[in-house]
Chains A and B, each alone.
Chain A
Amino acid sequence: MHMADAPYALPDAHGHFGPYGGVFVAETLIPALTELRLAYEEAQSDPAFVAEFEYELKHYVGRPSPIYHAKRWSGLLGGAQIYLKREDLNHTGAHKINNSIGQAMLARRMGKPRVIAETGAGQHGVATATVAARYGMECVVYMGSEDIRRQAANVYRMKLLGATVVPVESGSKTLKDALNEAMRDWVTNIGNTFYIIGTVAGPHPYPMMVRDFQAVIGKECIEQMPDMAGRQPDYVIACVGGGSNAMGIFHPYIEHKQVRLIGVEAAGSGIETGHHAASLTAGRPGVLHGNRTYLLQNEDGQIIETHSISAGLDYPGVGPEHAWLKDINRAEYVGITDAEALQAFHDLCRFEGIIPALESSHALAYAAKLAPTLSSDKVLLVNLSGRGDKDMHTVAEKSGIQF
C-alpha cells in the first residue's frame, strides 16, 4: 500500500474503506440513506449539536469514563501492566449508549418520532430504549427469540423503559435475523422512523457515524493514559462482534503508529470446530446487511449460523473498517474461546472486584494471555466495554447453578 504515509481519512465519499463498506441495499432504502447522510453531515458541522452531544455524554452517561490500573491482576499474571477503560461504568452499563444518544439526537433533528433498533445481547436495545424514553420517542426493538431466552433481564429492562420488544423467529433467531427484521420495518415505515444501528456495520453512513459517536472512548484514552501510565499504551485490546467498541477505542489511535491494535473475536468452541463467530479470522469477503466485509459463509455464499457464549459477539459479519484495518495490517485480529472468556470473567470478578460482560471478557482473556509474555514495563489498555450483570444467568448455567 503506497498510501501508508498519507493521513488516514476513510471512508471515502461513497462510504468505502478500500473494497469494503458501501451502500448495498435495495433501492427503496437509498433515499433514506441519502437523507441520513446529509442530515449527519449538517449536524456534525453544527456546534450546537456537538455541544449538546458532549453535554449528554457528561451529564446523562457519566463521561468521561475512568481508566483503572488492574494492578493486582497484572501482578498475578506476572508481566505487562493491564489498564481498563471503564465503559462498564456508563449509564446502562456499556459503551452502546454513546452511539444511541448521538443517533437519537439526529432522529429528533430530522423530525422522526419513532426509533427502531436491533439487539443481540440486549445492551444496544436497552441503550436505545433508554434514550427513547428520555426524548419521548416511540421505540421498537427487534431481538432474536434465542437471544431473548439468553438475555431475559435485558428484555425486561427494555419493557420497563417503554419499548416494544419484537421476537424474531426467522433464520438462526439471533442478531443477524434481528437486523434483517429491523431493515424490513425501516423500509416499510421510512417516513416517520429512524433506524438506530448499534454497531459499525450496515450501509454507509452507519459504519462511519457509529464510529464517530464511539470515538469518544479512544479520544478520552489518549488524554487519560499519560496521567495514568505516563504514556500511551503499547497495545490497545478490544472485543469485536460487529466491532463498535473496538472501532471507538481504535480509531483515535490509528495515527499513533507505535500502538498495536488488537481485536478479539469469539472463537466459540474453537475455530477448528466451526462453532464460532470469528468472521475476520475465518471468514471471506462478501455482501450482507448493506456493506461488503468479511463474512462467515458457506461455499454457495449462504450466511452460516455462528456460535458464541456471548450474544453480543454472535454475528457472522463485522464492521467494514475492521476488514480494511486487517487487510492493511494496521490492526490484528485474534480469537478467544468461550472457555477462555469465562476464565477471564471469573478472574476479573475475584481479583479486581469487577464483573465484566462476557463480550468484554474476550478482550480480557487475550490480555491475560499476552501480559505474561511481556515485561512489566509494557502497557496494555483493554476496553472493558460493558458490565456483566446481564450475563449472570449464562455464567451460572455454565457453572451448573440454578437460581
Chain B
Amino acid sequence: MSKPKLALYWASSCGGCEIAVLGLHEKILDVAEAFDIVFWPCVMDFKYEDVEAMEDGEIDVCLFNGAIRNDENAHLAHLLRRKSKVMVAFGSCAFGGSMPGLANFNDREQMFNYIYHDSPSTDNPDGIVPQQRTDMPEGELVLPNFWNTVKTLAQVVPVDYYLPGCPPEASSIETAVTAIVSGELPPPGSVIGPDITVCDECPREKHEKKISRFYRPQEIIPDPDTCLLEQGLFCAGIATRSGCGARCPQVGVGCRGCYGPNEGVYDHGAKIMTGIASVLDADTPEEVEAILDTLPDPAGYFYRFHMPDSLLRRTARTNGKKLLASEQVAASEL
C-alpha cells in the first residue's frame, strides 16, 4: 500500500508555521516515513502545475497555513481543497486570520497610502506605488490582487480540521499527525486539541479578581506567582484554548490568545472582553472609563488572532475615507 500523500502550503503568514513543522526535529522523519510529501514549497521545489496535474482528491491531507489576503492565496486554497481529501487549517492565520487579519481594522487604500506615502520611514518622492500589471520588455508582469478584507481559510473553502497556535506547538502538531496517521480523527469541523483554557495549564495562583487599572508590560515587574490579569496585565488566557502549556504567562507575558476561543464560542474577542470587563473594580461609568483609559486599543487586544473570523470580521467599510479621529489613534497603535 502506498503512503498517504501530504501537502503543506503557506499563504498569508510569517512562515513560523513552517518552522514549527520543522521544529518537530527527529519526529519529522516519522512524518516523512508515514507520508509521501507531494507539495511543500517552503522546503522543496514544487510548482503549482504539479498540483494542478494531480487528480482531484489525490492528496490525503493538506496542512494549509496562512490567511487569505490576495487572489493567489485564494487560488491555492481552492486548488488544494479540490485536490485534498482532508483540509487542515494549520496555525492561527488559517484558523482565525491572526496578524495578517489585523489589517481588517483598515482597508486596502488606507494601508497603501500609509505604507507607500505617509509612514515616517517611507522615502518615495515620486509617489511610486505597486501596479498590479506592469509591462516589461519580456512581457506583462502580474501581481495577485490584494484584497480589501483578509479572510480565513474556512471563509474561502470548506475546512475539515483546525489546528490552532501561532505557531502550533510541536505537541499539538504531533497530536494532529498521530490522529491523521492512525485514522482516529475527531468529527469533521473540530479543532484538534483539548477544550480547556490557558488558565487551566497556567501555574500562577488565581484569586477573586478585581482590576483597578491596566499596565503595559514595560510598566511593572509582575509578581512571579500571581495571575497576571489580577496584576493588571492584559492576558487572554481566560478565554483562550490551551494546548500551548501556558508558555507565555509562565514567563511573565500575558497570553495573546493565539490558540483561539473555546468550543461553542462565536467571537473570541467578545469573550475576552466580557471576562475582563466583568472584573473591573468600578461601578459608575466614570470609574469604568478611567480604568479603561489604561487599556489602549482594546479591539487590537481582543481580536489579535481572530479578527477575520469574528462576528463583525472587519471595521466598517471606509472606502479609503479618513477614519474618525478616535479610530485613528487606535489604528496607529496596532
Note whether A and B form a binding pair.
no
